[in-house]
Amino acid sequence: MPADPINILAIESSCDETSAAIIQDGKVLSNIIATQKVHERYGGVVPELASRAHMQNIVPVVDTALKDAGVNKKDITAVAFTRSPGLIGSLLVGACFAKSYAQALGLPLIAVHHMQAHVLAHFIDSKPEFPFLCLTVSGGHTQIVLCRDYLDMEVLGQTIDDAAGEAFDKVAKMLGLPYPGGPLVDKYAALGDPLRFKFPMSEMKDYEFSFSGIKTSVLYFLQAQKKTNPDFIAENLNDICASVQYTIINMLMNKLRKAAKDLHINHIGIAGGVSANSGLRKAIKEAGEKYGWQVYIPKFEYCTDNAAMIGITGYHKYLKGEFADMTVSPDARSAW
Ligand code: KG4
Ligand code: ZN
Protein backbone atom coordinates (compact mmCIF):
# COMPACT_ATOMS: atom_id res chain seq x y z
CA MET A 1 0.00 0.00 0.00
CA PRO A 2 1.45 3.44 -0.90
CA ALA A 3 2.38 5.66 2.05
CA ASP A 4 -0.06 8.45 2.93
CA PRO A 5 0.89 11.75 1.26
CA ILE A 6 2.33 14.54 3.40
CA ASN A 7 -0.20 17.37 3.19
CA ILE A 8 0.96 20.68 4.62
CA LEU A 9 -1.55 23.46 5.25
CA ALA A 10 0.48 26.69 5.02
CA ILE A 11 -0.53 30.14 6.19
CA GLU A 12 1.08 33.49 5.33
CA SER A 13 -0.06 36.73 6.98
CA SER A 14 3.11 38.79 7.56
CA CYS A 15 2.03 41.96 5.74
CA ASP A 16 -0.96 42.79 3.56
CA GLU A 17 -1.61 39.46 1.83
CA THR A 18 -3.70 36.78 3.52
CA SER A 19 -2.68 33.53 1.90
CA ALA A 20 -3.19 29.80 2.42
CA ALA A 21 -1.80 26.89 0.44
CA ILE A 22 -1.89 23.10 0.42
CA ILE A 23 1.39 21.40 -0.41
CA GLN A 24 1.32 17.65 -1.05
CA ASP A 25 4.68 15.86 -0.92
CA GLY A 26 6.39 19.13 -1.90
CA LYS A 27 3.98 19.96 -4.77
CA VAL A 28 1.60 22.93 -4.70
CA LEU A 29 -2.04 21.81 -4.91
CA SER A 30 -3.51 25.24 -4.17
CA ASN A 31 -2.25 28.73 -3.35
CA ILE A 32 -4.94 31.28 -2.49
CA ILE A 33 -3.93 34.92 -2.02
CA ALA A 34 -6.29 37.65 -0.81
CA THR A 35 -4.58 41.00 -1.42
CA GLN A 36 -5.89 43.71 0.88
CA LYS A 37 -7.07 46.69 -1.15
CA VAL A 38 -7.84 48.79 1.93
CA HIS A 39 -4.29 50.25 2.06
CA GLU A 40 -4.29 51.72 -1.45
CA ARG A 41 -5.80 55.05 -0.45
CA TYR A 42 -3.30 55.54 2.40
CA GLY A 43 -0.19 55.22 0.25
CA GLY A 44 1.19 52.33 2.34
CA VAL A 45 0.20 49.45 4.60
CA VAL A 46 -1.74 50.55 7.71
CA PRO A 47 -0.84 47.85 10.30
CA GLU A 48 -4.10 47.92 12.26
CA LEU A 49 -6.20 47.71 9.11
CA ALA A 50 -4.01 44.84 7.88
CA SER A 51 -4.65 42.81 11.06
CA ARG A 52 -8.39 43.36 10.80
CA ALA A 53 -8.44 42.36 7.14
CA HIS A 54 -6.46 39.19 7.96
CA MET A 55 -9.08 38.28 10.57
CA GLN A 56 -11.85 38.66 8.01
CA ASN A 57 -9.98 36.82 5.26
CA ILE A 58 -8.31 33.91 6.99
CA VAL A 59 -11.23 31.47 7.33
CA PRO A 60 -12.53 31.82 3.74
CA VAL A 61 -8.96 31.77 2.36
CA VAL A 62 -8.08 28.52 4.16
CA ASP A 63 -11.42 27.03 3.21
CA THR A 64 -10.86 27.86 -0.47
CA ALA A 65 -7.31 26.48 -0.34
CA LEU A 66 -8.64 23.14 0.98
CA LYS A 67 -11.46 23.00 -1.57
CA ASP A 68 -9.22 23.95 -4.52
CA ALA A 69 -6.72 21.29 -3.51
CA GLY A 70 -9.48 18.69 -3.09
CA VAL A 71 -8.05 17.84 0.32
CA ASN A 72 -10.19 17.21 3.39
CA LYS A 73 -9.07 18.79 6.64
CA LYS A 74 -8.79 15.35 8.24
CA ASP A 75 -6.07 14.55 5.67
CA ILE A 76 -3.79 17.45 6.68
CA THR A 77 -0.48 16.20 8.09
CA ALA A 78 0.92 19.42 9.60
CA VAL A 79 0.25 23.17 9.77
CA ALA A 80 2.98 25.65 8.79
CA PHE A 81 2.75 29.40 9.38
CA THR A 82 4.89 32.53 9.02
CA ARG A 83 6.36 33.28 12.42
CA SER A 84 8.70 36.16 11.48
CA PRO A 85 9.48 38.82 10.28
CA GLY A 86 6.50 41.06 9.60
CA LEU A 87 3.89 43.30 11.16
CA ILE A 88 3.26 41.89 14.61
CA GLY A 89 -0.54 42.25 14.50
CA SER A 90 -0.66 40.58 11.09
CA LEU A 91 1.64 37.74 12.16
CA LEU A 92 -0.49 37.19 15.26
CA VAL A 93 -3.60 36.45 13.21
CA GLY A 94 -1.84 33.74 11.16
CA ALA A 95 -0.04 32.30 14.20
CA CYS A 96 -3.20 32.12 16.34
CA PHE A 97 -5.14 30.54 13.50
CA ALA A 98 -2.41 27.96 12.81
CA LYS A 99 -2.03 27.07 16.49
CA SER A 100 -5.77 26.69 17.00
CA TYR A 101 -6.10 24.58 13.86
CA ALA A 102 -3.20 22.33 14.84
CA GLN A 103 -4.46 21.93 18.38
CA ALA A 104 -8.05 21.22 17.35
CA LEU A 105 -6.96 18.50 14.90
CA GLY A 106 -3.99 17.20 16.91
CA LEU A 107 -1.47 18.13 14.19
CA PRO A 108 2.20 19.12 14.39
CA LEU A 109 2.94 22.82 14.04
CA ILE A 110 5.79 24.28 11.94
CA ALA A 111 7.08 27.85 12.36
CA VAL A 112 8.54 29.36 9.18
CA HIS A 113 10.82 32.34 8.60
CA HIS A 114 9.38 34.48 5.82
CA MET A 115 12.75 35.38 4.22
CA GLN A 116 13.89 31.75 4.19
CA ALA A 117 10.59 30.92 2.51
CA HIS A 118 11.15 33.54 -0.22
CA VAL A 119 14.42 31.74 -1.05
CA LEU A 120 12.84 28.27 -0.99
CA ALA A 121 10.11 29.46 -3.38
CA HIS A 122 12.66 28.40 -6.03
CA PHE A 123 12.06 24.77 -5.13
CA ILE A 124 8.36 24.92 -6.01
CA ASP A 125 9.00 24.57 -9.74
CA SER A 126 12.72 23.93 -10.09
CA LYS A 127 15.58 22.46 -8.14
CA PRO A 128 18.58 24.77 -7.89
CA GLU A 129 21.85 23.04 -7.23
CA PHE A 130 23.52 23.76 -3.88
CA PRO A 131 25.33 25.94 -3.08
CA PHE A 132 23.39 28.72 -4.73
CA LEU A 133 23.16 32.45 -4.20
CA CYS A 134 19.83 34.20 -3.87
CA LEU A 135 19.22 37.92 -4.14
CA THR A 136 16.07 38.35 -2.04
CA VAL A 137 14.44 41.69 -2.73
CA SER A 138 11.14 42.58 -1.09
CA GLY A 139 9.26 45.48 0.46
CA GLY A 140 11.07 45.07 3.78
CA HIS A 141 14.36 43.32 2.92
CA THR A 142 17.24 43.27 0.45
CA GLN A 143 19.63 40.41 1.07
CA ILE A 144 22.25 38.29 -0.65
CA VAL A 145 21.82 34.80 0.77
CA LEU A 146 24.19 31.86 0.47
CA CYS A 147 22.14 28.64 0.45
CA ARG A 148 24.12 25.54 1.31
CA ASP A 149 21.07 23.34 1.76
CA TYR A 150 17.29 23.71 2.13
CA LEU A 151 17.47 24.90 5.71
CA ASP A 152 21.11 25.92 5.81
CA MET A 153 21.32 29.56 4.69
CA GLU A 154 23.50 32.52 5.53
CA VAL A 155 22.79 36.19 4.89
CA LEU A 156 26.03 37.51 3.35
CA GLY A 157 24.89 41.11 3.29
CA GLN A 158 21.79 43.24 3.37
CA THR A 159 20.50 46.79 3.21
CA ILE A 160 21.52 49.10 6.02
CA ASP A 161 18.44 51.28 5.54
CA ASP A 162 15.54 51.04 3.05
CA ALA A 163 14.75 47.88 1.10
CA ALA A 164 14.74 47.92 -2.71
CA GLY A 165 10.95 47.47 -2.75
CA GLU A 166 10.57 50.36 -0.36
CA ALA A 167 12.65 52.55 -2.69
CA PHE A 168 10.36 51.62 -5.60
CA ASP A 169 7.25 52.32 -3.50
CA LYS A 170 8.51 55.64 -2.10
CA VAL A 171 9.58 56.96 -5.49
CA ALA A 172 6.20 55.89 -6.86
CA LYS A 173 4.50 57.85 -4.09
CA MET A 174 6.53 60.98 -5.00
CA LEU A 175 5.30 60.50 -8.56
CA GLY A 176 1.70 60.42 -7.35
CA LEU A 177 1.22 56.69 -8.02
CA PRO A 178 -0.87 54.53 -5.63
CA TYR A 179 0.54 51.86 -3.27
CA PRO A 180 2.18 49.48 -4.01
CA GLY A 181 4.00 51.55 -6.60
CA GLY A 182 6.69 49.03 -7.59
CA PRO A 183 4.63 47.29 -10.28
CA LEU A 184 3.58 50.68 -11.72
CA VAL A 185 7.13 51.99 -11.88
CA ASP A 186 7.95 48.75 -13.73
CA LYS A 187 5.08 49.34 -16.17
CA TYR A 188 6.02 52.96 -17.00
CA ALA A 189 9.75 52.15 -17.05
CA ALA A 190 9.14 49.76 -19.94
CA LEU A 191 8.13 52.78 -22.05
CA GLY A 192 10.92 55.13 -20.99
CA ASP A 193 14.60 55.91 -21.51
CA PRO A 194 16.71 54.53 -18.61
CA LEU A 195 19.62 56.85 -19.41
CA ARG A 196 17.63 60.10 -19.58
CA PHE A 197 18.16 61.10 -15.93
CA LYS A 198 21.14 60.15 -13.80
CA PHE A 199 20.74 59.28 -10.13
CA PRO A 200 23.64 58.48 -7.78
CA MET A 201 24.44 54.86 -6.90
CA SER A 202 25.43 54.17 -3.29
CA GLU A 203 28.89 52.68 -2.77
CA MET A 204 28.61 50.25 0.13
CA LYS A 205 31.15 47.84 1.57
CA ASP A 206 31.10 44.06 0.95
CA TYR A 207 27.57 42.87 0.16
CA GLU A 208 25.72 45.72 1.84
CA PHE A 209 23.13 47.90 0.15
CA SER A 210 21.67 51.34 0.80
CA PHE A 211 18.59 52.73 -0.92
CA SER A 212 17.80 55.81 1.16
CA GLY A 213 20.14 57.97 -0.98
CA ILE A 214 18.36 57.36 -4.27
CA LYS A 215 15.03 58.14 -2.63
CA THR A 216 16.32 61.52 -1.38
CA SER A 217 18.02 62.38 -4.66
CA VAL A 218 14.81 61.67 -6.60
CA LEU A 219 12.90 63.86 -4.13
CA TYR A 220 15.28 66.85 -4.56
CA PHE A 221 15.43 66.33 -8.31
CA LEU A 222 11.64 66.41 -8.62
CA GLN A 223 11.34 69.46 -6.36
CA ALA A 224 13.89 71.37 -8.47
CA GLN A 225 12.28 70.38 -11.79
CA LYS A 226 8.78 71.22 -10.63
CA LYS A 227 9.88 74.78 -9.80
CA THR A 228 10.49 75.51 -13.47
CA ASN A 229 7.87 73.13 -14.89
CA PRO A 230 4.87 72.17 -12.72
CA ASP A 231 3.97 69.46 -15.26
CA PHE A 232 7.44 67.89 -15.18
CA ILE A 233 6.27 64.56 -13.70
CA ALA A 234 3.35 64.09 -16.06
CA GLU A 235 5.49 64.97 -19.09
CA ASN A 236 8.41 62.73 -18.10
CA LEU A 237 6.86 59.88 -16.09
CA ASN A 238 8.16 57.05 -18.27
CA ASP A 239 11.73 58.36 -18.37
CA ILE A 240 11.81 59.05 -14.61
CA CYS A 241 10.55 55.53 -13.84
CA ALA A 242 12.99 53.96 -16.32
CA SER A 243 15.96 55.93 -14.90
CA VAL A 244 15.13 55.15 -11.26
CA GLN A 245 14.55 51.46 -12.02
CA TYR A 246 17.80 51.29 -14.00
CA THR A 247 19.74 52.73 -11.02
CA ILE A 248 18.16 50.38 -8.45
CA ILE A 249 18.75 47.33 -10.67
CA ASN A 250 22.37 48.32 -11.25
CA MET A 251 22.98 48.58 -7.51
CA LEU A 252 21.44 45.13 -6.98
CA MET A 253 23.26 43.48 -9.87
CA ASN A 254 26.66 44.95 -8.96
CA LYS A 255 26.56 43.27 -5.55
CA LEU A 256 25.18 40.03 -6.91
CA ARG A 257 27.98 39.87 -9.49
CA LYS A 258 30.55 40.56 -6.79
CA ALA A 259 29.18 37.78 -4.55
CA ALA A 260 29.09 35.29 -7.44
CA LYS A 261 32.68 36.14 -8.37
CA ASP A 262 34.05 36.14 -4.80
CA LEU A 263 32.41 32.84 -3.88
CA HIS A 264 32.85 31.16 -7.28
CA ILE A 265 29.18 30.23 -7.38
CA ASN A 266 27.32 30.17 -10.69
CA HIS A 267 23.88 28.99 -9.56
CA ILE A 268 22.09 32.27 -8.96
CA GLY A 269 18.48 33.17 -8.15
CA ILE A 270 16.31 36.18 -7.40
CA ALA A 271 13.33 36.09 -5.03
CA GLY A 272 10.86 38.35 -3.22
CA GLY A 273 8.36 40.90 -4.54
CA VAL A 274 10.91 42.93 -6.53
CA SER A 275 11.96 39.79 -8.41
CA ALA A 276 8.66 40.29 -10.28
CA ASN A 277 10.26 43.40 -11.83
CA SER A 278 10.69 42.91 -15.56
CA GLY A 279 13.92 44.94 -15.66
CA LEU A 280 15.52 42.85 -12.92
CA ARG A 281 14.36 39.59 -14.53
CA LYS A 282 15.92 40.71 -17.82
CA ALA A 283 19.13 41.88 -16.11
CA ILE A 284 19.71 38.54 -14.36
CA LYS A 285 19.02 36.59 -17.55
CA GLU A 286 21.55 38.74 -19.42
CA ALA A 287 24.11 38.31 -16.63
CA GLY A 288 23.48 34.57 -16.79
CA GLU A 289 24.36 34.51 -20.48
CA LYS A 290 27.38 36.77 -20.01
CA TYR A 291 28.91 35.04 -16.98
CA GLY A 292 27.73 31.48 -17.55
CA TRP A 293 25.36 31.44 -14.58
CA GLN A 294 22.54 28.98 -14.21
CA VAL A 295 19.78 31.46 -13.39
CA TYR A 296 16.64 30.78 -11.31
CA ILE A 297 13.65 33.13 -11.49
CA PRO A 298 10.41 32.22 -9.67
CA LYS A 299 7.02 32.35 -11.38
CA PHE A 300 5.27 35.69 -10.73
CA GLU A 301 2.82 34.23 -8.21
CA TYR A 302 5.72 32.94 -6.08
CA CYS A 303 7.66 36.26 -6.12
CA THR A 304 5.33 38.38 -4.01
CA ASP A 305 4.01 37.11 -0.69
CA ASN A 306 2.26 33.75 -0.91
CA ALA A 307 1.61 30.72 1.29
CA ALA A 308 3.01 28.19 -1.21
CA MET A 309 6.54 29.28 -0.27
CA ILE A 310 5.65 28.87 3.43
CA GLY A 311 4.35 25.39 2.59
CA ILE A 312 7.46 24.29 0.71
CA THR A 313 9.61 25.47 3.64
CA GLY A 314 7.22 23.74 6.04
CA TYR A 315 7.58 20.54 4.02
CA HIS A 316 11.38 20.56 4.35
CA LYS A 317 11.11 21.33 8.06
CA TYR A 318 8.63 18.45 8.40
CA LEU A 319 11.10 16.06 6.74
CA LYS A 320 13.76 17.17 9.21
CA GLY A 321 11.41 16.96 12.19
CA GLU A 322 11.68 20.68 12.99
CA PHE A 323 8.44 21.35 14.82
CA ALA A 324 7.27 24.19 17.05
CA ASP A 325 5.35 23.72 20.27
CA MET A 326 2.24 25.55 21.39
CA THR A 327 4.26 28.18 23.27
CA VAL A 328 5.66 29.56 19.99
CA SER A 329 4.81 33.20 19.37
CA PRO A 330 5.35 35.47 16.38
CA ASP A 331 8.28 37.85 16.25
CA ALA A 332 8.29 41.09 14.22
CA ARG A 333 12.00 40.80 13.39
CA SER A 334 14.01 37.66 14.09
CA ALA A 335 17.09 36.29 12.37
CA TRP A 336 16.44 32.78 11.14
O1 KG4 B 1 7.86 40.05 -1.07
P2 KG4 B 1 6.77 41.07 -1.04
O3 KG4 B 1 5.45 40.70 -1.65
O4 KG4 B 1 6.46 41.52 0.41
C5 KG4 B 1 7.42 41.68 1.41
O6 KG4 B 1 7.85 40.64 1.97
O7 KG4 B 1 7.82 42.85 1.60
O8 KG4 B 1 7.37 42.38 -1.76
C9 KG4 B 1 6.56 43.51 -1.93
C10 KG4 B 1 7.40 44.56 -2.65
C11 KG4 B 1 6.71 45.92 -2.73
O12 KG4 B 1 7.63 46.91 -2.36
C13 KG4 B 1 6.34 46.03 -4.21
O14 KG4 B 1 6.28 47.35 -4.69
C15 KG4 B 1 7.49 45.27 -4.84
O16 KG4 B 1 7.67 44.15 -3.99
N17 KG4 B 1 7.16 44.85 -6.20
C18 KG4 B 1 7.79 45.33 -7.30
C19 KG4 B 1 7.17 44.70 -8.41
N20 KG4 B 1 6.20 43.85 -7.94
C21 KG4 B 1 6.22 43.96 -6.59
N22 KG4 B 1 8.79 46.22 -7.43
C23 KG4 B 1 9.20 46.50 -8.67
N24 KG4 B 1 8.65 45.97 -9.78
C25 KG4 B 1 7.66 45.06 -9.70
N26 KG4 B 1 7.14 44.52 -10.80
ZN1 ZN C 1 7.76 38.86 1.43
pTM: 0.96
Q: 306: CA distance to ligand 2 center in Å?
A: 8
Of 49, 135, 129, the C-alpha closest to 93 is 49
Fold matches, 7-119+303-319 and 127-297: yes
The SS3 call for residue 124 is helix
Considering every ligand atom, which ligand is closest to the CA of 183? 1
Q: 197: CA distance to ligand 2 center in Å?
A: 30
What whole-number distance in Å separates Cα of residue 235 and Cα of residue 218? 16
Cα 76 to Cα 59, 102, 207: the distances in Å are: 16, 10, 41
Q: Is the CB of 272 under 6 A from ligand 1?
A: yes
Q: Is the CB of 298 under 6 A from ligand 1?
A: no
In sequence order, the β-bridge partners of residue 153 are 147
Q: 303: CA distance to ligand 1 center in Å?
A: 8
Atom of ligand 1 nearest to the CA of 278: 26
Of 304, 298, 172, 182, the C-alpha closest to 249 is 182
Residue of minimum CA distance from atom 14 in ligand 1:
182
Q: Is the CB of 245 under 6 A from ligand 1?
A: no
Q: Are 12 and 28 in contact (CB under 8 A)?
A: no
Phi-psi region of 34 (alpha: psi -120 to 50; beta: other; left: phi over 0): beta
Domain boundaries, the chain: 7-119+303-319, 127-297
pLDDT digits (tens, 9 = 90+) for 100-147: 999 999 999 999 999 999 999 999 999 999 999 999 999 999 999 999
* Nearby residues of 261 by Cβ (< 8 Å), 6 or more positions away: none
The alpha carbon dihedral of 82, 88, 94, 95 has a sign of positive
Query: How would CATH label the architecture of 127-297?
Result: 2-Layer Sandwich (3.30)
Atom of ligand 1 nearest to the CA of 181: 14
Residue of minimum CA distance from atom 21 in ligand 1:
273
Phi-psi region of 199 (alpha: psi -120 to 50; beta: other; left: phi over 0): beta
Q: Is the CB of 117 under 6 A from ligand 1?
A: no
What whole-number distance in Å separates Cα of residue 174 and Cα of residue 67? 42
Q: Is the CB of 86 under 6 A from ligand 1?
A: no
Give the DSSP per-residue string, 61-119: HHHHHHHHHT--GGG--EEEEEEESS-HHHHHHHHHHHHHHHHHHT--EEEEEHHHHHH
Q: 273: CA distance to ligand 1 center in Å?
A: 3
Beta strand residue intervals within the chain, DSSP E: 7-12, 17-24, 27-35, 78-84, 109-113, 132-137, 142-149, 152-158, 267-271, 294-296
Q: 309: CA distance to ligand 2 center in Å?
A: 10
Considering every ligand atom, which ligand is closest to the CA of 274? 1
**Does CATH place domain 7-119+303-319 in 3.40.50.720?**
no
| Radius of gyration in angstroms for the set of CA atoms belonging to the chain, rounded to a whole number | 20
Q: Is the CB of 277 under 6 A from ligand 1?
A: yes
Atom of ligand 1 nearest to the CA of 180: 14
Q: Is the CB of 139 under 6 A from ligand 1?
A: yes
Q: Is the CB of 182 under 6 A from ligand 1?
A: yes
Q: 138: CA distance to ligand 2 center in Å?
A: 6
Per residue of the chain (336 residues), give pLDDT as tens: 678 999 999 999 999 999 999 999 999 999 999 999 899 888 889 999 999 999 999 999 999 999 999 999 999 999 999 999 999 999 999 999 999 999 999 999 999 999 999 999 999 999 999 999 999 999 999 999 999 999 999 999 999 999 999 999 999 999 999 989 999 999 999 999 999 999 999 999 999 999 999 999 999 999 999 999 999 999 999 999 999 999 999 999 999 999 999 999 999 999 999 999 999 999 999 999 999 999 999 999 999 999 999 999 999 999 999 999 999 999 999 887
Angle, helix 164-174 to helix 212-228, in steps of 10 degrees? 10
What whole-number distance in Å separates Cα of residue 184 and Cα of residue 190? 10
Considering every ligand atom, which ligand is closest to the CA of 87? 1
What whole-number distance in Å separates Cα of residue 74 and Cα of residue 62? 14
